[in-house]
Amino acid sequence: MKRKMPNAEHRTPIIEWTNIDGRVTEDPPRYAGSKKEDSTPNAQRPTSNAQRKPHFTLEERLLEFSARIIRLVDALPNTRAANHLAGQLLRSGTSSYGHGEVEAAESRKDFIHKLKICLKELKETRRWLRLVKKAAMLPALKMAPILHETEELIMIFFVSIRTAEKNAK
């Protein structure tokens, strides 16, 4: 008899993540401000709004990242190990969306502290994602975009912290 895990009893299928074969299919989101886009000469840049890539604020980017984590967790197999990783990923991968709290910081020191918490959670998310990839719970090719986005967010927060600490002096 297979034992049911509490967080797996009410799974909701996410159509964006699974296709008919049951494989994970996710297209990586594209963000404005990438190096490729910035190096494009003005004459070659798209002129109409329909041709431009959407511009994401950091808050929107973190919201999209958290939504992607949720979809990834729902795509994990229903096993004891996957359910454990799902819980860890949900906690760490969605907590960085609390970045909005950073804007409500009461002081520069509080601001830096909240940025550091977001960075810590993103680094933890990276570790759990790497474990999911290493355990082959999802195809490695489908893990690459979310791991790449995690790395980019880590770099953004790292630089933000360094800048905030430099400006605090």
Residue segments in the chain with a per-residue pLDDT below the cut of 70: 1-56, 99-100
**pTM above the 0.85 mark?**
no
Other Cβ atoms within 10 Å of 42 Cβ, number: 6
How crowded is the C-beta side of 64, counted as CA atoms within 13 Å?
19
Check residue 37 and give its pLDDT: 41
- The one-letter code for the residue type at 27 is D
In the three-class reduction of DSSP (H, G, I as helix; E, B as strand; rest coil), residue 4 is classed as coil
